[in-house]
Structure 1
Amino acid sequence: MKLNDIRDNPGSSKERTRVGRGIGSGKGKQSGRGGKGQTARSGVRIKGFEGGQMPVHRRLPKRGFNAPFSTDYNEVNLGRVQQAIEAGKLDGAKLVTLEALIAAGVCAKARDGVKILGNGELKAKVAFEVAAASKSAIAAIEKAGGSVKLLIAAPAESA
């Protein structure tokens, strides 16, 4: 094969349609844009305009709700923490905080704190200081001999 033999696959590229090049081309005069008016002009077509009638996207009600004070936690499973300890990225003897998890590469960036979830198995005795933890995670940590200190107070359960 020589460099001058190299070609695209047949049908892989298509020449663009040259509009406005005479009546014989089939795309002359108005270049496939129809008659006169707003839609024949460049850059002025109003999307969703219904001739002055209230457009459908404004007739339909808004849906959903965005909570203004919602919290976005880094969710970390116990199995992932155990992997980091076994890999030597996380020191199980020291206090495990958000900063320690970010330094170990377990969390990508600091959000509103860390929530420990109970998926996986924790074998090491680890002390956590986190924003939140699930009940199963707290039980698994205490079973392994560790402790959990929650930075945000859990809501009091009514009796």
Structure 2
Amino acid sequence: MPLIRRVPKYGFSNPFRTEYAIVNLKSLAALETTEAITPQLLMNEGLVRRKGQLIKILAQGELNKPLVIQAHKFSKSAEAKIQAAGGRAEVIPSV
């Protein structure tokens, strides 16, 4: 078979890319908790599927109560909305 047919047509899939579990602020606002929101709590609530998965918080939705949220990454607008509601965004170092 010619080389041109053995090589993929478009790009490649990077096996070393970092994948994050996406959690939006509207999902966090729906939680009935006043304690810190940790990855373990998100897994217990079913918002994250696998244990040890990296978590990124995005800004879709509104947050009306002050929450302390621990995640591996935050979007800039999500961090601004959390601080505007009186909460804190704590970055967990990824291993």
CA distance in 2: counterparts of 1:150 and 1:70, whole angstroms: 20
8 Å contact from structure 1 (residues 129, 148) kept in 2: yes
Alignment of 1:3-152 (within 5 A): 54=1, 58-60=3-5, 61-62=7-8, 63-85=10-32, 91=33, 93-110=34-51, 112-152=53-93
Measured after TM superposition, the shift of residue 68 of structure 1 is 2.8
TM-score normalized with structure 1 length = 0.52
Across the aligned residues of Structure 1 and Structure 2, the Cα RMSD in angstroms comes to 1.9
CA distance in 2: counterparts of 1:64 and 1:80, whole angstroms: 34
8 Å contact from structure 1 (residues 102, 108) kept in 2: yes
8 Å contact from structure 1 (residues 127, 146) kept in 2: yes
CA distance in 2: counterparts of 1:124 and 1:104, whole angstroms: 18
CA distance in 2: counterparts of 1:68 and 1:146, whole angstroms: 36
Measured after TM superposition, the shift of residue 127 of structure 1 is 0.4
Structure 1's unaligned 5+ residue stretches are: 1-53, 86-90, 154-159
Measured after TM superposition, the shift of residue 65 of structure 1 is 2.0
Q: Which has the larger radius of gyration?
A: 1
RCO higher in structure (CA 8 A, sep ≥6): 2
Higher-strand-fraction structure: 2
Measured after TM superposition, the shift of residue 111 of structure 1 is 5.5
CA distance in 2: counterparts of 1:105 and 1:146, whole angstroms: 22
Measured after TM superposition, the shift of residue 72 of structure 1 is 1.3
